[in-house]
């Protein structure tokens, strides 16, 4: 099954089963789901969460409870600026500097309360939380199809902020866990752990994490849209 077919199947099933949550419809996005808070709690109670000082998290609704738990636990949260469109392409949410954690976990609140930072200003990322549309037990992930999550990892790797030992996780509904083999490329970031409302799954991921940016696959349009890529592009 191709990735878009998987996306459509998962989006349809979440909606048909009544497991999708606002924003509606789930189609075309990282879908919010019933039990997202419970999945976040399961992650927060796991060994991979313990002792982590800084995480990178996606901005989507189903991972809002994860961002909240991280800030409440005193962890610094980094969120990418949408489409990496700014030179300072990450927002730093420092719980020591934030009074309104609830607001900071929203997209608008993170823009208001987060500090724009460049890659040189960031600390090492110990845990990456990715939003997903579909997941398989070998750690293959399907996002919404734009490729920014994988590109963000590659950019962080170029600056030495992540490596093969950086733990990658996702929170999803059981419906999003699929049996089909998902096609991947060397640029796809494998997921180490999957947390659902009812399960903690250590994946059988064997693929290496991307070693950095694969410049040959980037279009001129994407290079022009992302200032950090133009700045570090090899001659």
Look at residue 235 and tell me if it is in a domain. Answer: no
Q: Do the domain assignments include residue 206? A: yes
Q: Is residue 207 part of a domain?
A: yes
Q: What is the rounded CA–CA span in Å between residue 132 and residue 184?
A: 14
pLDDT tens per residue, range 6-25: 999 999 999 999 999 999 99
Q: How many domains does the chain have?
A: 1
In a domain, 230, yes or no: no
In a domain, 30, yes or no: yes
Domain presence at residue 220: yes
Q: Inform me whether the pLDDT recorded for 118 exceeds 70.
A: yes
Give the integer Cα–Cα distance in Å for 106 and 112: 10
- Residue 234 domain flag: no
Mean pLDDT of 71-100: 97
pTM recorded for the entire structure:
0.96
CATH of the domain at 11: 3.40.50.10420
Residue 72 lies in domain: 3-225
Confidence grade of residue 180 (pLDDT, cut at 50, 70, 90): confident
List pLDDT tens digits, range 28-73: 999 999 999 999 999 999 999 999 999 999 999 999 999 999 999 9
Please indicate, yes or no, if residue 118 is contained in any of the structural domains. yes
């Amino acid at each position: 099954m191709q990735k878009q077919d998987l996306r459509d199947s998962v989006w349809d099933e979440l909606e048909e089963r009544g497991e999708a949550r606002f924003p509606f419809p789930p189609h075309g996005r990282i879908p919010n789901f019933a039990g997202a808070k419970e999945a976040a709690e399961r992650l927060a109670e796991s060994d991979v969460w313990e002792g982590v000082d800084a995480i990178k998290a996606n901005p989507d609704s189903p991972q809002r409870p994860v961002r909240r738990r991280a800030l409440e636990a005193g962890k610094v949260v980094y969120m990418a600026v949408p489409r990496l469109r700014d030179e300072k392409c990450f927002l730093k949410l420092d719980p020591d500097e934030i009074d309104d954690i609830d607001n900071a976990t929203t997209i608008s609140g993170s823009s208001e309360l987060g500090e724009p930072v460049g890659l040189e200003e960031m600390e090492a990322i110990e845990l990456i939380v990715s939003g997903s549309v579909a997941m398989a037990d070998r750690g293959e992930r399907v996002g919404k199809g734009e490729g920014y999550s994988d590109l963000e990892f590659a950019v962080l790797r170029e600056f030495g902020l992540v490596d093969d030992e950086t733990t990658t996780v996702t929170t999803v509904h059981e419906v999003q866990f699929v049996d089909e083999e998902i096609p991947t490329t060397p640029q796809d970031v494998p997921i180490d752990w999957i947390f659902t409302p009812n399960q903690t799954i250590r994946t059988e991921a064997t693929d290496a994490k991307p070693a950095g940016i694969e410049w040959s696959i980037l279009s001129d349009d994407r290079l022009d849209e992302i200032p950090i890529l133009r700045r570090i592009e090899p001659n």
